[in-house]
């Protein structure tokens, strides 16, 4: 209940008439639909992403409600919820006070709610898509990556490095040698990649990790 009450204090109470938190998070909310504005259950068919942070919260979606100083509305037609949340995490999220981020979809979100205690104990809440991550590791990674291209350079190198490590662990020397040659070619093409990759591999960052997910969101086009 602590997480639900936190979400309600930051977001739920601003969405409509006063009601219990467990009803506020599944209430009907004015929403931009294909044929105009109408009432739609929060997240039903149209995902609603959120940032719950006392005094400065946001919802990213197609809601048509009155904006308040404590709750900012972000149109998902302009930026994806994932991209907006990743930008907030890297540039604005408090590193010493609790907050909550996540998405509300068709499934009841109550059981997915979990407070983040930054920097180490952070979570993206989703009924079918939740994951944990270390905020300080994400911010360090952004600093290390700098001007290197995530999609063309960093992400592929992380996958190849991970494949090489797995091959070494399982004793597949042919595979390890093959992946090692791939890395060398990448380093020859971009000499700065070697230094960045070595630094990134000291962090809890690898494909399919929560840190990797946040960084991929941050580097999306929208």
Tens digits of residue pLDDT in 172-212: 899 999 999 999 999 999 999 999 999 999 999 999 999 99
Give pLDDT tens digits for 25-58.
999 999 999 889 999 999 999 999 999 999 999 9
Distance, in Å, from the CA atom of 88 to the CA atom of 118, rounded to the nearest integer, reads 13
pLDDT of residue 7: 97
Burial string for 6-40 (b: 16+ CB within 10 Å, else e) reads bbbebbbbbbbeeeebeebbbeebbbbeeeeeeeb
Q: What angle do CA 75, 81, 84 make, to 5 degrees?
A: 90
Q: Which residue has the higher pLDDT, 188 or 1?
A: 188
Helix 210-218 and helix 81-91, axial crossing angle in degrees, nearest 10? 100
pLDDT of residue 66: 86
Distance from the Cα of residue 188 to its chain's centroid: 32
Q: What residues contact residue 164 under an 8 Å CB cut-off, 6+ apart?
A: 175, 176, 179, 180, 183
What are 140's two structure tokens? 């360090």
pLDDT at 97 over 80: yes
Distance, in Å, from the CA atom of 63 to the CA atom of 68, rounded to the nearest integer, reads 13
Distance, in Å, from the CA atom of 170 to the CA atom of 176, rounded to the nearest integer, reads 10
Q: How confident is the model at residue 115 (pLDDT cuts 50, 70, 90)?
A: very high
What average pLDDT does the chain have? 94
Q: How confident is the model at residue 16 (pLDDT cuts 50, 70, 90)?
A: confident
pTM of this prediction exceeds 0.75: yes
> What is the percent of the chain with per-residue pLDDT over 70, rounded to a whole number?
100
Q: What angle do CA 14, 80, 43 make, to 5 degrees?
A: 45
Residue recorded with tokens 């540039």: 91
**Number of Cβ within a 10 Å radius of residue 67:** 12
pLDDT of residue 171: 87
Number of H helices, E strands in the chain: 8, 8
pLDDT at 17 over 90: no
**Number of Cβ within a 10 Å radius of residue 60:** 25
Q: How confident is the model at residue 1 (pLDDT cuts 50, 70, 90)?
A: confident
pLDDT of residue 221: 74
Beta-carbon-side half-sphere exposure of residue 15 (alpha carbons within 13 Å)? 32
């Amino acid at each position: 209940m602590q997480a639900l009450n936190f979400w309600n204090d930051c977001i739920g109470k601003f969405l409509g008439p006063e009601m219990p938190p467990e009803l506020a998070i599944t209430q009907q909310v004015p929403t931009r639909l294909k044929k105009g504005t109408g009432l739609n259950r929060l997240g039903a068919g149209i995902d609603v992403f959120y940032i719950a942070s006392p005094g400065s919260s946001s919802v990213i979606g197609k809601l048509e409600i009155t904006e308040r100083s404590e709750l900012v509305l972000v149109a998902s037609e302009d930026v994806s919820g994932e991209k907006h949340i990743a930008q907030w995490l890297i540039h604005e999220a408090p590193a010493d006070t609790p907050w909550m981020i996540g998405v509300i979809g068709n499934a009841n979100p109550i059981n997915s709610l979990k407070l983040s205690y930054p920097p180490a104990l952070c979570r993206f809440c989703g009924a079918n898509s939740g994951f944990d991550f270390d905020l300080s590791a994400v911010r360090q990674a952004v600093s290390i990556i700098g001007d290197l291209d995530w999609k063309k350079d960093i992400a592929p190198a992380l996958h190849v490095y991970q494949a090489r490590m797995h091959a070494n662990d399982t004793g597949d020397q042919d595979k390890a040698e093959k992946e090692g040659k791939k890395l060398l070619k990448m380093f020859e093409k971009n000499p700065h990649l070697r230094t960045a990759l070595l630094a990134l591999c000291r962090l809890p960052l690898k494909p399919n990790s929560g840190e990797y997910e946040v960084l991929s969101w941050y580097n999306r086009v929208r």
